Amino acid sequence: MKIAIEELAGCSGCTISILDLHEALLDVVAQADIVYSPVIMDVKEPPEGIDIAFVTGAVRNKENEERLKQLRKRSKTLVAFGTCACYGGVSGLSMLGKPEDLFACVYQGVETAEKGNLIPTDVPAFLYRVFAVGDLVKIDYYIAGCPPKEKFLRTIIPDLIADKKTELSKKSVCAECDRKMGDVKDWHLKRRYEGTPDREHCLLGQGYLCLGPVTFGRCGASCPHNNIPCHGCNGPSLDILREPCRDIYNLMVRRIADLTDTPEKEIEKQLYDVAHTMYPFTIGSLIMEDKEISKIRDLVQGGSV
Amino acid sequence: MIEISVDAAACNGCGLCVKDCPMQVYELRDEVSVPIRPENCMGCLSCHEICPAQALEHRGVYPSKRNYIDIRVCEMINRVI
């Protein structure tokens, strides 16, 4: 059994999450060889005849696209591993502006950049948009998470190797959160720096924009557990993914409206910077963008190319 | 008869199902939703849709038709592990 882990436009945190298996990793390598992974070993090209290939990161430039297609040809099972691979991840936010502005900022605009810096032209060119890997090639399995948490990988990876069906909860972050609702009074949207949230009660009910109800779980609600509102890094909940009339933005607005007995229009007035607050991890996904009610198309208009 | 089950561990007691149900099936007890009148349920699945924690399951409801099925999306959902 040969395993490969490929890196595209991502932070390599997903590969580290596999290393986070710690002693369970010994059981994995007893059954399978890791033959290719740029982060943890010095192999330049994926070999032929890979059994399971994990692809992490989104597709942002031509090199990413080529590598993804090559890996698809050389592997029997291709797994989209992590939120970037499944939904485009934070790379998608690069579509909000023009690539020229982006390069100018990164190479010349930031404080640490030297004045005379040139923007390199000998690097792989940007594609016209960001893609989740499933938008470009056939994917056999999706494992969402930013990164997928080690606790669940302990079940998922051995099951994948043994070709066994994995039975794990596929509910939302709220299902894993142990906060109670409490009373909702004088609701108004709060930024994260405003006050300290009460640890017992629902963050959304307190006015913090917590994306728990619309986000796929499998993180043990670790952010709400540490008094930080969920920002949706696991991608959309499966209910949202499935239903054409549901989207992260409209469902959040509806939830807040239901909780507070305020008209949806009033809630929408309070929301700010929708791209970064609602879609930071899914803006690059064609599946999410193609929903008729999605706001993504309006947000990326005028950007890209 | 529709069988309703509530995953008490998942339920966060927000009460949206209590408020939303047109047939007053649910009641909050100790901050957990309890289907006290399941025989009244008309299977609209509105509560299922509104629950932030996806804690409600209905058995014996057969939505006979779906207006819209996106094969690409269904394929992706089947492959999420």
- Asked if residue A208 has pLDDT above 90, the reply is yes
A237 in contact with B at a CB cutoff of 8 Å?
Answer: yes
Which chain B residue shows the shortest CA-CA distance from A236? B77
Mean pLDDT of B30-53: 89
Measuring CA to CA, how many Å separate A142 from each of A63, A80, B64?
A: 22, 5, 29
Average pLDDT, chain A: 92
- Pair of tokens at residue A52: 């399971």
> Which regions of A17-149 does DSSP assign to beta strands (E)?
33-36, 50-56, 59-61, 75-81, 126-131, 141-143
Residue A137: CB atoms within 10 Å: 17
Looking at the structure, tell me whether residues A63 and A148 fall in a common domain. yes
Reported confidence tier of residue B73, pLDDT bands at 50, 70, 90: confident
Same domain, A271 and A206: yes
| pLDDT band (50, 70, 90) for residue B74 | confident
Residues in chain A within 8 Å Cβ distance of B74: 242
Q: Does A145 touch chain B (CB under 8 A)?
A: no
A154, A198: one domain:
no
Tens digits of residue pLDDT in A25-50: 999 999 999 999 999 999 989 999 99
How does strand B32-35 pair with strand B26-29?
antiparallel
Q: What is the CATH number of the domain that holds B69?
A: 3.30.70.20
Burial of A166 (0-12, 13-18, 19+ CB in 10 A): middle
> Is A44 a domain residue?
yes
* A191 contacts: CB under 8 Å, gap ≥ 6: none
In a domain, A123, yes or no: no
Interface contact flag, A172 B50, Cβ < 8 Å:
no
Report the run of H or E that residue A271 belongs to, with start and end: none
Written as one string, the DSSP assignment of A60-97 is: EEHHHHHHHHHHHHHEEEEEEESHHHHH-GGGGGGGGS
- pLDDT greater than 70 at residue A175: yes
Domain membership of residue A118 (yes or no) is no
Say what the ipTM of the complex is. 0.75
A45 with A145, same domain? yes
**CB distance A170–B20 less than 8 Å?**
no
Do A13 and A156 reside in the same domain of the chain? yes
Look up residue A255 and give its DSSP letter.
H
pLDDT one-digit tens code per residue, A219-230: 999 999 999 999
A140, A143, A181: residue with CB nearest B12: A181
Total domain count for chain A? 2
When pLDDT is averaged across residues A289-296 and rounded to a whole number, the result is: 91
Q: Which pLDDT score is estimated for A182?
A: 85
φ and ψ at residue A192, rounded to 5 degrees: -65, -25
Task: Show residues of chain A in contact with B66, CB under 8 Å.
Answer: none
When CB atoms are compared, the residue of A139, A176, A181 closest to B13 is A181
Rounded to an integer, what distance in angstroms lies between the CA atom of residue A38 and that of residue A137?
A: 21
B2-32 pLDDT tens trace: 899 999 999 988 888 998 888 899 999 988 9
Hey, are the CB atoms on B54 and A134 less than 8 Å from each other?
Answer: no
Residue of A55, A143, A180, A293 for testing the chain B interface, max B β-carbons within 10 Å: A180
- Shared domain for A79 and A202, answered yes or no, is no
Name the domain count of chain B.
1
Asked if residues A92 and A58 have their Cβ atoms less than 8 Å apart, the reply is: yes
Task: Give residue for tokens 């790379």.
Answer: A91
> A276 near A69, Cβ under 8 Å?
no
pLDDT category at A304 given cuts 50, 70, 90 is very low
Domain finish residue from A105, A140, A161: A161
Q: What integer pLDDT is reported at residue A99 of this predicted model?
A: 87
Is the per-residue pLDDT at A131 higher than 90?
yes
The answer to whether residue A276 neighbours chain B at the CB level (below 8 Å) is no
* A69: number of Cβ within 10 Å: 13
Q: Which domain holds residue A293?
A: 173-297
Residue A181 sits at the chain B interface (C-beta within 8 Å): yes
Q: Which domain holds residue B67?
A: 3-78
Residue A199 lies in a domain: yes
Q: How many Cβ pairs within 8 Å bridge chains A and B?
A: 83
pLDDT in tens, A137-171: 999 999 999 999 999 999 999 999 999 988 888 99
In a domain, A290, yes or no: yes
